[in-house]
Structure 1
Amino acid sequence: MNNFAHIKPLFKLKTVAYYSVCLEDNDVTLYQEFVEKHTLENKNKLYHIQKWLQLIGEKYGAQNRFFRNEAKNADTSALPPIGKDRKPYYVEYGKKKANNLRLYCLKANPNVVFLFSGDIKTTQKAQDCPNVRKHFNLANTLTKAIDNAFRENDIIWNEDCTLIKCDEDFILYY
C-alpha cells in the first residue's frame, strides 16, 4: 500500500451527502477532475449525470435502482442509471441519445455516496474498455479501502448515518 488519498466532502443535498477523494497530495478530487474534463468534451452527457446526482440527492436518496453494476463481484457502481430499455438516455438537439459516459461511485448507504471518476465507455464490459478500465479499477480499489476504513472505525457514521466522520488528517491507504 504505497498509494494514499484524502476524503473530501463535495456537497450535501436534502437526502444525500456526496464525497470524493484527493489522490496523493493533490487538492483536486477525482470527481472535480471528471467534471473539468467532461464539461468541455461531453457537456450534455455530464449534465445528464449531474441531473441524476441532484435528483437522487434531493428527492429519492441513494437507492440501488439508480446505480448500475458494471461487473460481477464489484462493489463499485456507476451512473447514469440504466434506462427502461437497459440504456441510459439524455437529450441532445431534441433527440434521445444513449449516454455512454460513466461516473464510478460507491453507494455507502442511502444517504452517503462517494464519487470517483470515469470516462466514455466503448465496450460491453468496463474491464475491457481502454477509456474506463483504469477509472473502474481505481474506483474498485478505493471502494475496498473505504469499506476497510469503515470496518476499522477510521471512518464512522454520525448519529443518524447521514454523514461520515473521520479525522481531518486521516489518510486512506489503497
Structure 2
Amino acid sequence: MKRYFEIKEYISFEKTKFYSIHEVGEEFCETDKFFLRFINEKEYLEDVQTIKYWIEKIGREFGALERYFRPERKANALPIPPPKSNLRLYCLRVSDAIVILGNGGIKSSKLVQNSPDALPHFNLMNLVAFILKMKNENDQTSFREKEIEGDLSFYINP
C-alpha cells in the first residue's frame, strides 16, 4: 500500500527555516516522532538535547551551512560534530536557509545498512532527497530564500 507524504513547515528561525515530512493520516510529523520516541529515554536525553541545540544554533546563528551536516548519501544527518552516541536525526540540507528534517534512530553499526533501527529513516530521507531533486528539475518545486514552493507531496511504495 502506498504511503502519502507532505513536506510542511516545522520551525522557523532568523537564518534557517526547518521543514518536516508528514505522513498524511498520522498525528505527528516524522521529526516529532523522533523526539517523542527518544526524549524520555534517559540513555539518549543528552543526545536529543545536543540535536535540539544544533537545530536552534543553525537556525538562529549560523544558517544551514554545509559544514554543520554529516553527509548521508544524498541526504544528511545531525548532529555534527559526531557525538559519543550513535543517535542520528536524518535530514536534507536544501540551502543555507532551508532544511528538511526527517526521523532518525540508533546507528548501532559503523554502516547504517547494518543498523536496523536507523536504516528505514536513512532510506526515507534519501528517497525524499531524490524526489525533491526530480521535482525541482521538472519545475514542480522551487526554493527561494527560506521557502519551498510548489508540489510538496509524494507517494512512496513500501
Same fold (TM over 0.5): yes
Matches within 5 A, 1:2-151: 2-41=2-41, 42-70=44-72, 74-82=73-81, 87-88=82-83, 98-151=84-137
8 A Cα contact 1:149 1:172, kept in partner: no
Aligned identity (percent) is: 28
Q: Which amino acid aligns with 1:64?
A: E
Give the drift of 1:148: 1.7
Kindly tell me the number of residue pairs found equivalent between the two proteins.
154
Measured against aligned partners, the alpha-carbon deviations of 1:110-130 in whole angstroms (never above 9, x if no partner) come to 100000011111111111112
TM-score (norm 2): 0.89
The structure 1 segments of at least 4 consecutive aligned residues displaced by more than 3 Å after TM superposition are: none
Q: CA RMSD for the aligned pairs?
A: 1.7
**Structure 1 unaligned residues grouped into runs of 5+:** 89-97
| Helix, strand or coil at the partner of 2:94 | strand
Measured against aligned partners, the alpha-carbon deviations of 1:72-118 in whole angstroms (never above 9, x if no partner) come to xx111100112xxxx42xxxxxxxxx131100000011100000011
Q: Which of these two proteins has the greater Rg computed from alpha carbons?
A: 1
| Helix, strand or coil at the partner of 2:133 | helix
TM-score (norm 1): 0.81
Q: Aligned partners of 1:100 and 1:69: how far apart in 2? A: 15
More strand per residue: 1 or 2?
Answer: 2
Give the drift of 1:131: 1.5
Measured against aligned partners, the alpha-carbon deviations of 1:3-26 in whole angstroms (never above 9, x if no partner) come to 321111001101000001112422
Give the drift of 1:59: 0.8
